[in-house]
Structure formats: structure tokens, C-alpha cells
């Protein structure tokens, strides 16, 4: 990562770095609100679709001491 940043800096290239904090950063935000917030930050539409696509129509289960729970469908927002 440092090499990529250094290359962009030395060669005057534009560089976007996107990270996502999976530790409850958006745990109560609906996908619509997240999209609007990212648009206000002028995040490119491709990245907005990538980020919100991670949370649409997903199936989940919880790992317990007795094994994984039955699969369930995630609701709106980031769970």
C-alpha cells in the first residue's frame, strides 16, 4: 500500500483509497441513507454500488458453540 501511495505522489497521479470498518461503523444505517451519504461525499457511483452491493440480498448465519445457525436473509441496512 505504501508503494502505491508513494508512486501516486511521485508521479502526480490521482489515488483513491477506500476502506470499510466492519466493526459496527454503520450498524444502524439503512442502505438508502448510506448511498445518500456517500453521494454527498462525491464518492464515484461505481464505488457506491460496490459498497452497497455487499449488503443487498445476502444470506447469513451465526457461528455458535453448537455449530452454525440456520441461514437467514439480512434485512435493510448493515447488520
Residue 74 CA to residue 59 CA, distance in Å, equals: 6
Q: Residue ranges of the domains in the chain?
A: 25-79
pTM of the model: 0.50
* pLDDT at residue 30, rounded to an integer: 80
The pLDDT tens digits for 27-69 are 567 888 889 999 999 999 999 999 888 888 788 888 999 999 9
Q: Which long-range contacts (CB under 8 A, 24 or more apart) does 23-30 make?
A: 26/77, 26/78, 27/77, 27/78, 27/79, 28/77, 29/77, 29/78, 30/76, 30/77
Amino acid at each position: 500500500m505504501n508503494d502505491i501511495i508513494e508512486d501516486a505522489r511521485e508521479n502526480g497521479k490521482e489515488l483513491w483509497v477506500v476502506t470499510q470498518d466492519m466493526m459496527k461503523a454503520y450498524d444502524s444505517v439503512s442502505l438508502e441513507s448510506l448511498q445518500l451519504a456517500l453521494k454527498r461525499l462525491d464518492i464515484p457511483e461505481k464505488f457506491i454500488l460496490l459498497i452497497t452491493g455487499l449488503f443487498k440480498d445476502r444470506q447469513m448465519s451465526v457461528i455458535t458453540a453448537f455449530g452454525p445457525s440456520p441461514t437467514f436473509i439480512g434485512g435493510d441496512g448493515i447488520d
